[in-house]
């Protein structure tokens, strides 16, 4: 009677907990008392096992083969496709990086050109070289600016390294530059060290000559030349080139002076056109 009263007075949650503990105890006790013995199979079971075992083995091997096929062929095809896409993406990124580097280098060159010749009282127009006269060792250049851009005939063309030439032919959107390499070009120049005067003219093999230099002028190999400012085409003080060879003959009153231009015409990309107001 006392037990009944206790169960009645017990809350539902405590009752459930007590029942679960009793069931768990009984289960553990039964498991501990169970006697594991070897089971003898019947003749019929033996026949079934012998008949079904090869089929099970075949099914398992078939599943392995299918998995192997998908892992090593189907999935590899997908992986190969992904690799091709990744390689394509890498090439695209490499090309984009190359273009950005070229733009960076071009911007640096253009900034240097804009800073060049700030003291020269002429309008400065940036232009790119778009054509070279390969039949005459780059003696004539074509730039992508013309009369619509403010270019005028006989305007001086320069870079940060020195004199390129002058505009001798003009259209609306393009201009042709007669470079200092051309034999028809004439530039009044001065040797900076001795202040010796002469006329620079195109010669050959990307070189020029300085004419009308008397034998008594003490010029030397390595002397630099700048424009003299005569002729109303080239402003004074632009770099022209450096003397690389001098020949003084036993007769005559002048000497043969050979020089290389200050700029490399084979690597010329951008120029500045100095337009006289």
pLDDT above 60 (res 5): no
Among 76, 92, 115, residue at a domain's last position: 115
128-148 per-position pLDDT tens digit? 999 887 566 668 899 999 999
pLDDT at residue 2, rounded to an integer: 39
Percent of the chain with pLDDT over 90: 35
Q: How far apart are CA 228 and CA 120, in angstroms?
A: 14
State whether 141 and 87 are in the same domain: no
Percent of the chain with pLDDT over 70: 65
State whether 83 and 190 are in the same domain: no
Domain that includes residue 109, residue range: 49-115
Question: Which neighbouring-strand residues pair with 41?
Answer: none
State whether 136 and 107 are in the same domain: no
Buried b (16+ CB within 10 A) or exposed e, 198-233: bbbbbeeebbbbbeebeeebebeeebbbbbbeeeeb
pLDDT above 50 (res 99): yes
Q: Tell me which of 268 and 110 has the higher pLDDT.
A: 268
Among 94, 115, 136, residue at a domain's last position: 115
Residue showing tokens 């600016």: 145
pTM for this predicted structure: 0.60
Q: Do residues 114 and 121 make contact, with C-beta atoms less than 8 angstroms apart? A: no
22-33 per-position pLDDT tens digit? 666 655 555 555
Among 59, 93, 115, residue at a domain's last position: 115
């Amino acid at each position: 009677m006392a037990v009944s009263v206790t169960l009645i007075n017990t809350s539902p949650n405590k009752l459930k907990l007590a029942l679960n503990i009793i069931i768990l105890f009984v289960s553990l006790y039964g498991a501990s008392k169970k006697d594991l013995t070897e089971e003898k199979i019947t003749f019929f079971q033996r026949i079934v096992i012998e008949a079904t075992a090869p089929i099970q083995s075949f099914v398992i091997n078939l599943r392995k083969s299918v998995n192997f096929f998908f892992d090593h062929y189907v999935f590899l095809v997908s992986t190969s496709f992904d690799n091709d896409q990744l390689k394509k993406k890498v090439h695209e990124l490499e090309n984009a990086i190359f273009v950005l580097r070229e733009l960076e280098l071009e911007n640096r060159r253009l900034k240097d050109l804009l800073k060049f010749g700030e003291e020269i009282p002429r309008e400065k127009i940036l232009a790119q070289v778009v054509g070279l006269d390969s039949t005459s060792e780059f003696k004539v250049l074509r730039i992508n600016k013309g009369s619509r851009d403010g270019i005028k005939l006989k305007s001086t063309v320069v870079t940060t390294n020195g004199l390129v030439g002058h505009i001798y032919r003009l259209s609306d959107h393009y201009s042709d530059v007669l470079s200092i390499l051309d034999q028809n070009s004439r530039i009044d120049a001065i040797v900076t060290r001795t202040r010796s005067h002469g006329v620079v003219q195109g010669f050959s093999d990307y070189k020029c000559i300085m004419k009308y230099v008397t034998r008594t002028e003490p010029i030397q190999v390595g002397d630099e030349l700048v424009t003299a400012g005569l002729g109303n085409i080239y402003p004074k003080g632009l770099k022209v080139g450096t003397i690389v060879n001098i020949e003084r003959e036993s007769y005559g009153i002048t000497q043969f002076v050979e020089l290389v231009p200050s700029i490399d015409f084979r690597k010329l990309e951008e120029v500045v056109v100095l337009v006289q107001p």
